[in-house]
Structure 1
């Protein structure tokens, strides 16, 4: 199992995830269609030409999911019990078709569960950057993680 146990996380620890993804038009269209999101800013090139950006934006929820997904292999693969929530999610700059996303994750806090001795909660801050190192997404996430088996 590649995921880390609760005891393996320490506040201040930073993961620079080696996995990167260049986002395609197909990724954006498929995600928007699968989630029934008809926002023309994501799927209509003619509409998007008249926008501030002049081209379609990648769906921000796809960006969020990709950012967290990229982090999984190095952090929580097989050791997550549940995501407990995401807060302070921001998208300070849009992601566009053809942009390559890289992600880093910082452990902000670690604590044992008060009610279940086999697990605990890790507070993560995920940050995603495009190929020009511009921050395109950030969120704080709490995940319930198993402790190392006895």
Structure 2
């Protein structure tokens, strides 16, 4: 059975070390989505939910749940990197949140390929390490994480973008 792979993402061969993708999507974090995220993840942290409590903290106001920020970092990247071309997410490492995200901050996103290697056990795949970075509207880094993904190699029937028949 032949399976056609629909893709907007990049194949393993296209994800070369040093490639930096500035994602077009910008996202303003709303109070309602922060509250919904906390509710759905069973996180009652008052730093995210209670304005009176948050006003007494070092931040002086509520901060956005950091895992919402991380989820956005990965989610926004999918269309430009792994949509239809990934086998599996292998894990995260070196995740940091150097600055807080506040309600109504507008976030921008970029992804860099920082490592890439062929899979020794699955010749039709390769392992790519992405570094996702998120910035607030002032250009401050608010999230950085490295993600390892098992990626499909380009199928032999798939021509490179702009490629021609030989």
Fold shared per TM-score above 0.5? yes
Q: Which among 23, 36, 45 is matched to residue 17 of structure 1? A: 23
Q: Does 1:75 align with 2:81?
A: yes
Matched position secondary structure for 2:21: strand
* Consecutive unaligned residues in structure 2, runs of 5 or more: 1-6, 157-166
Q: Does 1:114 align with 2:120?
A: yes
Q: For 2:41 and 2:69, how far apart are their aligned partners in 1?
A: 13
Q: For 2:54 and 2:17, how far apart are their aligned partners in 1?
A: 42
Q: Does 1:140 align with 2:143?
A: no
Larger Rg: 2
2:3 equivalent in structure 1: none
TM-score normalised by length of structure 2? 0.89
Q: For 2:43 and 2:87, how far apart are their aligned partners in 1?
A: 29
Matched position secondary structure for 1:41: helix
TM-score normalised by length of structure 1? 0.98
**How many residues align structurally?**
150
Runs of 4+ in 1 over 6 A off after TM superposition: none
* CA drift at 1:81: 1.1
* CA drift at 1:27: 1.0
What per-residue deviation string (whole Å, max 9, x for no partner) do you get for residues 43-96 of structure 1? 111111111111110000000010111111111111111111111100000001
* CA drift at 1:107: 0.5
Q: Which among 91, 100, 104 is matched to residue 94 of structure 1? A: 100
Q: For 2:125 and 2:86, how far apart are their aligned partners in 1?
A: 9
Matched position secondary structure for 1:37: coil
Q: Does 1:131 align with 2:147?
A: no
- Report 1:50-65 matches (<5 A): 50-65=56-71
